[in-house]
Amino acid sequence: MVQKDHRDEGMHFDNTIPFQITKLSTTSIVIDLSSNRIKGDIPVLPTSLTYFSIANNEFTGSIPSSMYSLDKLQILDMSNNKLSGIIPDIFPLNCNLKTLTSAVKY
């Protein structure tokens, strides 16, 4: 499997996730944005993700429903943010999720 490295494509963060992250190609399957002081809502994500970490940031709001269609996702870490609500039990039945780390306020 070939993974494209997007680290040098000029994505500069200014406390928010740039809109371009939603346009990443299907070869982008690992996104780690942990410990960057990023604020705002969790964006719509590429459906090919296998690893997604936004740990140790300042994300707010609830988990977007689009996240539940990420059937290739294996590791999801949303810990140490300012997320609220509940984590619904609606991940796909064929979901590959093996690790979920989250602290969500009710």
Q: Which two tokens stand for residue 62?
A: 């609830």
DSSP code, position 42: P
- The answer as to whether 58 is a domain residue is yes
> Could you report the per-residue pLDDT of 66-86, keeping only the tens digit for each?
888 888 888 999 999 999 887
**Dihedral over Cα of 26, 24, 51, 72: its sign:** negative
User: Which residues sit opposite 59 in a β-bridge?
Assistant: 40
Give the pLDDT mean for 21-37. Answer: 76
In the predicted structure, residue 6 carries a pLDDT above the cut 50: no
- The answer as to whether 19 is a domain residue is no
In the predicted structure, residue 37 carries a pLDDT above the cut 70: yes
- The answer as to whether 39 is a domain residue is yes
Q: Which two tokens stand for residue 37?
A: 């002081």
> Could you report the per-residue pLDDT of 12-28, keeping only the tens digit for each?
556 676 656 666 666 65
Mean per-residue pLDDT over the chain, rounded: 76
Could you tell me the residue range of the domain that residue 30 belongs to? 25-101
Q: How many domains does the chain have?
A: 1
pLDDT value of residue 23: 64
